Structure 1
């Protein structure tokens, strides 16, 4: 267990990260040109890095070869201007290790590893899974704590033990346990990234590092401005910017559809790279897209 620290950890992958969608062609194939154009847009509008093949990136329905090709294409597009974190989490430790090694070979700067899902392993098995993946490659690891999807969380005490591993450096926090998060923050040097956009400012204010955001696909500059305002000491403006984003956050992430579906619907409406979602996901209804566009325009005008 690490000792108490009063310092904010240095951002291992930057502060403002986008959980990037995976663009597909109209026929459902991987759109690498679209991925490069989207990544370039995100970086030019304030993202320090992109997370590929996560939940938003439809990782359950992309092949191992597609995941590697996506990392290589985005690396070519952004060069060293931004970090690339590759989602490699699966329900199988061996498969996760294989994906981590492939991501390293393809040029990723780090890997995002989700808690193994469906089998619901106990905490000692969860801990062993993450240690095995961290030991397998030379890349730094961002743990992905999202029990609402996996069925199993990374308990704070498990997180404290994992923090001692030299390559486990960050957490994407979707656990909705603010007390548990602050417990780990106060006792480790793990870099905590808000995985839920409504927590961007709150987590940052208590020592978090930044965010990994699905909504950043749509408004990268607006979300980045929350962190920038706080860093300049203008906490009132930071709060106002967080509040202004609330309607789009709710419409995108809490309206009964997965964020991938809503984000792709709006990106397509804005004629930005996106394309269809892959089954079992279905496209958003037309009325949903129209409502999202109206919400987006209100935020842009604010």
Structure 2
């Protein structure tokens, strides 16, 4: 962790393993956390979108976080996903995460209700005023329906409480504005990570790093050390993995869990409804993509 990358450079939004009956598999949680720790990570985002947070309870989120901390100790930065579309629940999750020793809070734009920019500011400010842990905002309008506007970022920058932005809005050029405002920017879109770095991002909150942690870390390190040729080569090598994990309609927790099953980290790819696990044909295609990227 450095002053410019407050949570490290490579983090993964970790899946939440479930047993066949749909209950949380805490042994699986620890196995995945240990796997990430062993494959190039500086940190983990717990109970984010890829962790299926819309389907887990406040109590489960607390237990999952503690299981991850038990597995990795203080070796990794742990950022707790606390964003919901209900400010009261978000405040409850944030308080719980701080009590559990979270190193940071991931705060996604409220989804479905699509608040205006005044509503976003009101929501974010309540969390910022109620907590002390560094905050990473998460802008992903493709899932939430609302994009954080430039003037909203300018207002948030005056608070001094938001350290970083996970940007999944699809435009790496926005990094210039965000860094000028003092935010550390993390790519929230694996296929665009190298582009985000080129515009000044400090790292990535990844999904593909469930399977390619060492490779993505090597790409970031190569870029930051000025070896663009190596970074481009690794990025090209990873294209089949990007496509198989992120370029299909049923992606995210479903594909990440399937990748972990293919790697032997998990023994199933169970997800909670309304998600459905990859079928055999989809699983085979994902394996082909991982193999083409040299990850199997």
* Class of the TM-score when normalised by the shorter of the 2 chains: over 0.9
Distance 2:8 2:175 in 1: 20
Match of 1:228 among 190, 207, 221: 221
1:98 aligns with 2:112: no
SS of equivalent residue, structure 2 residue 293: helix
**Compared CA separation, residues 231 and 179, structure 1 to 2 (3 A):** closer
Offset at residue 119 of structure 1 (A)? 1.4
Which stretch of the first structure deviates more once superposed, 289-298 or 42-51? 289-298
| Matched residue, 1:62 | 56
1:262 aligns with 2:255: yes
Match of 1:201 among 181, 194, 205: 194
Counting matched residue pairs gives 294
Q: How do 1:136-151 and structure 2 match up within 5 A?
A: 136-151=130-145
The answer to whether the 8 Å contact 2:8/2:43 transfers is yes
Q: How do 1:39-54 and structure 2 match up within 5 A?
A: 39-54=33-48
RMSD: 1.6
Once the two structures are superposed, what CA deviation does each residue of 1:246-295 show, in whole Å capped at 9, x if it has no partner? Answer: 12111111211122111212222332136400011111110111121122
Offset at residue 97 of structure 1 (A)? 0.7
The answer to whether the 8 Å contact 1:97/1:136 transfers is yes
| Matched residue, 2:294 | 300
Once the two structures are superposed, what CA deviation does each residue of 1:29-65 show, in whole Å capped at 9, x if it has no partner? Answer: 1111111121111111100000011110000111111
The answer to whether the 8 Å contact 1:156/1:181 transfers is no
The answer to whether the 8 Å contact 1:159/1:184 transfers is yes
Which stretch of the first structure deviates more once superposed, 289-298 or 264-273? 264-273
Q: How do 1:101-180 and structure 2 match up within 5 A?
A: 101-180=95-174
The answer to whether the 8 Å contact 2:16/2:29 transfers is yes
1:287 aligns with 2:281: yes
Distance 2:99 2:46 in 1: 15
**Compared CA separation, residues 287 and 269, structure 1 to 2 (3 A):** same
The answer to whether the 8 Å contact 2:10/2:204 transfers is yes
Distance 2:295 2:15 in 1: 24
Offset at residue 301 of structure 1 (A)? 6.3
Structure 2: gaps of 5 or more residues: none
Identify the structure with bigger relative contact order (alpha carbons < 8 Å, sequence gap 6+): 1
Distance 2:79 2:137 in 1: 11
Once the two structures are superposed, what CA deviation does each residue of 1:196-233 show, in whole Å capped at 9, x if it has no partner? Answer: 01121111122111000011111111111111111222
The answer to whether the 8 Å contact 1:153/1:175 transfers is yes
SS of equivalent residue, structure 2 residue 173: helix
Distance 2:150 2:170 in 1: 12
Offset at residue 10 of structure 1 (A)? 1.1
